[in-house]
Homo-oligomer: A and B are copies of this chain.
């Protein structure tokens, strides 16, 4: 039997503290299913949230660029949940439909040329070494 999501009202204080920080940081009323399922392992929940929070903070790259990269990886890996949630997150961060189309076009192209490079066994150019 698969796990059920752990809702705030049923969560331990440790889990609630993480949920509270997610809601505060993201300015949302509730956390996504991802966190409600990770809550089955409070140590992994806390570490994963701390890592995501640190990685996704605006820095050398803005949040929109980061979300589009997150989406590009999720599409490459074929993770259905992650495609849905990071499409939503990227839109919230400002991704337009035209930008989405461009992300998909680049992801598609990269997946194609990655295999052409593999199959033709292309050696790395000295200029890249």
Contacts and interface: CB of A to CB of B under 8 A. Distances in A.
B68 A69 contact: yes
Given A48-B113, A121-B2, A76 B79 contact: no
A34 B40 CA distance: 28
Copies of this chain assembled into the complex = 6
A118 B124 CA distance: 15
Contacts of A124: 33, 80-81, 84-85
A72 interface: yes
A93 interface: no
B102 A60 contact: yes
Interface in A24-76: 32-34, 37-38, 40-41, 43-44, 47-48, 51-52, 54-56, 59-61, 65-66, 68-76
Interface of A: 1-3, 32-34, 37-38, 40-41, 43-44, 47-48, 51-52, 54-56, 59-61, 65-66, 68-88, 96-99, 101-125, 127-129
